[in-house]
Copies of this chain bind each other. A is one copy, B any other.
C-alpha cells in the first residue's frame, strides 16, 4: 500500500500516527543500506532549494538520495540568486518541478514550504521554514527514541534548555505528546515553553508537562527522593536516570541580559561528564546539534550520549521519507489506534469581507508573496482565536468574521 506516494511533508501534522510509524518501519529497513547505493531511486533527481544555508540538513538529504540510488541538483544558498530578481516561491517550484522528481526546500519565511507544496506537482519536503517547522528533524528525534529504547509510546522524556525559542523542541513536544509520552520541561527563567503551546498540548493531546527551572529541582521534587531526603544531594547528579531520554537544546548567550545571568543559568541545564557517569545504563542524552555550552565534550565518549547516532539516523529517516513519497517502496500502514492523530480538514474562516485581513506575523510568507490570499483556521482549543493557515500564528478573530 503506497498511500504516502505523491504526498508532501511540510509538518508532522501532515501524517497520521500510524503513517509516522510506517515511515519508522521503513527507516529500520533503510538502516541496512546507509552505505552503498540501494538502487531504488535510479534515474530520480532530488532538487535541494536552500534559501539559507544549512550544511547538515542539506548534506543529509543529499546523502539519503544518493544512497537510494538517485541524483541531486543543489542550491546551497538561494538568497542571492533568483530571489534578488524577484522570483516567487510559487514560480520557482513550478520551474524546478520540471528539472527534478522531488523538492527539498528551506526558506526563512514561515509557511513558505506549504506554498511550495501547494504549487508544485511533485513531492515537497520541508527542510525548515524559519522558526515554524522542521519536520524531518522531529521525525529523526522520535525515531532515535524508538530505535534506542525499542518503543515510542509511554516513554518519559525531559526537554532541557531554551524551550522558548527552539522550533525543534516545540515540534518534538507535539510528536511525543501524540505518542503518549510523558514530557518534562526544564528551562531557565524566561526561556520556558510558551503558554499557547502548553495549552495546545493539553487540549489536543492531553499532555501536561511538569515544569522545572533547573535539573537539580527535578531531583528535589522526585517522589523517590522525597521519601529518602538523605539521598537528595547524592541524586542531584543522577537526574538523567529519571528519564528514558533527556533532550538538551542549544542555549544562546544572546537570550540573557548579561554574561553573569548566562553563567548562572548554565549550571541549571548543562549536562556534565559527572552527571552522565552516574546515570543508569540505558538513559539517553539527545541533542539536535549544534551545541553551545550546554553539553560537555567529555560526555561525547559515553555510550548514552546518542546525539551523533541521532544525527546519523537522519539518513535512514530521509531515505524512508523520500522512498515513501516517491512511491519507490511500499509502506505498510498499520491499523488505526483508538484516538490517534489524523490530519483533518480545518474549518476555514471566511475572511473575504475583511479585505485587508493579514497575518500578524511579519515573517509569514503571506506578507512577502503578493499572489497569496491570507487564509485562517479556527483555533479549536481557544475560541475567539484564528490561526494563519500558512504559519500557524494565532490572532483574535475580527468581530463579524464568518465561519464556513
Contact = CB atoms under 8 A, between A and B. Distances in A.
Secondary structure of the A side of the interface? mixed
Interface string A18-62: 000000000000000011110000110101010001111001101
A99 B315 contact: yes
A30 to B, nearest CB: 13
A270 to B, nearest CB: 14
B43 A95 contact: no
B47 A37 contact: no
Contact of A55 (B43, B75, B292): B75
Interface of A: 34-37, 42-43, 45, 47, 49, 53-56, 59-60, 62-63, 66-67, 71-78, 80-82, 85-88, 90-92, 94-96, 98-101, 289-292, 297, 308, 311-312, 314-315, 371
B82 A71 contact: no
Contact of A87 (B59, B99, B289, B315): B289
Contacts of A101: 35
A41 B117 CA distance: 32
Instruction: Determine how many copies of this chain the complex contains.
Output: 3
A82 B250 CA distance: 13
A98 B55 CA distance: 13
Given A55-B92, A311-B95, A73 B80 contact: no
B77 A55 contact: no
Given A37-B71, A74-B74, 10 more contacts: A34-B98, A54-B82, A56-B82, A59-B99, A76-B76, A76-B77, A77-B80, A85-B290, A91-B291, A98-B308
Given A43-B37, A80-B53, A98-B312, A290 B59 contact: no
Nearest to A47: B59
A80 B77 CA distance: 10
B66 A45 contact: yes
Contacts of A82: 54-56, 290
A313 to B, nearest CB: 8
A102 to B, nearest CB: 12
Contact of A63 (B67, B73, B312): B73
The 6 closest A-B pairs by CB, nearest first: A98-B312, A36-B43, A87-B290, A63-B99, A53-B81, A37-B43
